[in-house]
Structure 1
């Protein structure tokens, strides 16, 4: 059975920040290396999302959220960072792909990546770049979706509970 999700741009509504904090807390708790250490205080997760949504309001990034079509609850997110140096107006970074454990293995990661690609294209970007934990489900997802692997940087970041992990860098050229 395939579940359905609705993907949309996030608003700066406080309820959206709260729901995104829930997703972030779940991802860190489950061991995802998304820039935060465990235990992650809820106030820190909420502050991150409030800041990120404010950045989106300023046009610096796009924040996409995935809602469960039945419950309406936010179960995933991805960002397209648009603010780049002056000599890179054609490029954007894809960042912080997160899917709540209760929504994993149902095609939501792929749907979020495809939505991020489409949003970047609509914003006039023709090149996307990202990095993800080497050997992760996300690395396999990006490979399957046709992203080009550049290489691995060893010992790039820490796992949420400590210990170094490597990252794999990818890019994708978008058709105009």
Structure 2
């Protein structure tokens, strides 16, 4: 499930997780030097920054399958589980200004490739996250394009994504050439627990001949 709600819900003000000192978000100009880093199972040094990014998203209305308020332990456990599942069928990239775990984390995206015998041609884009202070600067487009390239490299010709209908993410995906396949009522659940209509998007990838 991807974030970017059309309007953030009324939640308690964002407070940094205890024991995880928030890193200042870089100025917009810093995005010129952005680096995308593919994570591995043993990249545990990224956990604190990933947890901060997740809490920021949830507290700003992201539809990520988690409810606010999100505790430090819950955020860390979430990412530990995601890292443990990384492999050929599941990939995560993070965006930073420098490319190491000490740099502020600007965003992240997860790609899950179909593993079944009838799913070797497709994949799903999941958990596209951009820090609330860095939205509208093209970062989401860079993350999506990176996932698309990886899907192509893996021989996939179709990607799908579930979005909150009416969200900012719809504009991003439409700009990148994704097609809107339809809507499903009450498909997504936002951070405060309310259900929303979900929009299904897909993109056909041109495999090299």
> Shared topology, TM-score over 0.5?
yes
1:78 and 2:143 aligned: no
Task: Supply the RMSD in Å over aligned alpha carbons.
Answer: 1.6
Which residue does the alignment assign to 2:204?
Answer: 173
Give the deviation of 1:96 after TM superposition. Answer: 0.2
SS in 2 for 1:139: helix
The answer on 1:138 being equivalent to 2:169 is yes
Q: CA deviation at 1:162?
A: 2.3
Q: Which moved more, 1:80-89 or 1:103-112?
A: 80-89
Of 180, 186, 202, 1:149 maps to 180
* Cα distance in 1 between the residues matched to 2:154 and 2:71: 34
Shift of 1:59: 2.6
Aligned length, in residue pairs: 175
Distance, in Å, in 2 between the alignment partners of 1:59 and 1:42 is 29
Question: Which residue does 1:43 correspond to in 2?
Answer: 73
Corresponding residue of 1:8: 37
Corresponding position of 2:155: 124
Which structure features the higher share of strand residues? 1
SS state at 2:78 partner: helix
SS in 1 for 2:85: helix
Equivalence for 2:94: 65
In structure 2, distance between residues paired with 1:122 and 1:8: 17
Query: Larger C-alpha radius of gyration, 1 or 2?
Result: 2
What is the rounded CA distance, in whole Å, between the counterparts of 2:49 and 2:114 in structure 1? 25
What TM-score do you get using the length of structure 2 for normalisation? 0.79
Q: Which ranges in structure 2 are unaligned for 5 or more consecutive residues?
A: 1-27
Q: In 1, are the aligned partners of 2:114 and 2:121 still within 8 Å (CA)?
A: no
Counterpart position of 2:128:
97
